[in-house]
Amino acid sequence: MQIATGFWAAKTLASAVELDLFTRISGQGTTAEELTKLLGLHPRPAKMLLSGCAALGLLVRREGRFFNSSLAEEFLVRSKPYYFGGFVTMLDRRLYLAWNRLTEALKTNRAQTWGDKPGLFEAIAAHPEEQRIFTEAMHSLSAMAGRAVAEAFDFSKYRRLLDVGGGSGAYCIETAKRWPHLQAVVYDIAPALEVAREKIAEAGLAGRILTLEGDFFTEALPKGSDVILLSMILHDWTPEKDLAILRKCYEALPSSGAVIVSELMMDDDETGPAPAALMSLNMLIECEGRNYTWAEYTEWLEQCGFRDIQRIPLQSPGANGLLIGYKI
């Protein structure tokens, strides 16, 4: 029942985020009667929404009023630094209906959000509103993962980080906050970098984090950085394309430089974990890749010349592990 009705909980959360429920009642709480006026709802569904969110642990009831739970207050209030609503919005607006066509995707091996042409990221970039929703979603997903990476990997030996396909700059922001000596570069296509510049400025890090427009398939990666990050990038593409990206990383790094692969890693026996396995199915819906195993990534890194490969487990929404390869 929990699996079969999973979309009930997901849509309850998505609607609450769309109505901005958690931001609107932050610090003051609400009653069903107040919510009808606050959000313009009919009394019957207002009461149901509050009960549903409370049952899911998103609201708590005290002395007849509903308040945000500590979880909702930290992650679902827009002004909070690790606001997760952007990812919820993207799942609801972009992926919910596309996942309804999962059986078709399984039978045809074709993405369901854009088809065959011109390509996932080109299709997103062609529509500014969709690009904004997607990049904000990736920021929501990447902020916590970026903090986990910054805490798990020792950047003290490195001076400049290149985040390839860095999107909103979340990883660079979190790493720069944790390691004050480090300079960083967000490398991505122009539409994504518009959001990145905003996020970097909001974090007060414009002096330490640069943005650089480019395409890692058609251009060589910029040199000058001694550590390169690939965060939730390689699962988008085929093994052949991933090898091409990793070779470019190797060529761009100096001797003793390092590459960091941050992903939801599949176990080597390909039986889980569930977040990685389900994200892999999402790659079927969205693109041409899948979530690969620790062993597959390790083999590719070694093929490209990286040595002393290290595995570092993580706990975050966007990544459960790092693989570190060194250019000897």
Catalytic residues: 235
Q: Which residues pair with 229 in a beta bridge?
A: 163, 260
- Count of other CB atoms within 10 angstroms of residue 206: 12
Residue among 238, 221, 220 at smallest CA distance from 296: 238
Q: What is the dihedral of CA 137, 142, 145, 150, to 10 degrees?
A: -160
Sign of CA dihedral 229, 234, 235, 237: positive
CA distances from 90 to 107, 135, 277 (A): 25, 9, 19
How many C-beta atoms surround the C-beta of residue 19 within 10 A?
A: 16
- What's phi and psi for 266, nearest 5 deg? -80, 145
Residue the block writes with tokens 């490209």? 304
By three-state DSSP, how is residue 108 classified? helix
69/67 Cα distance (integer angstroms) = 6
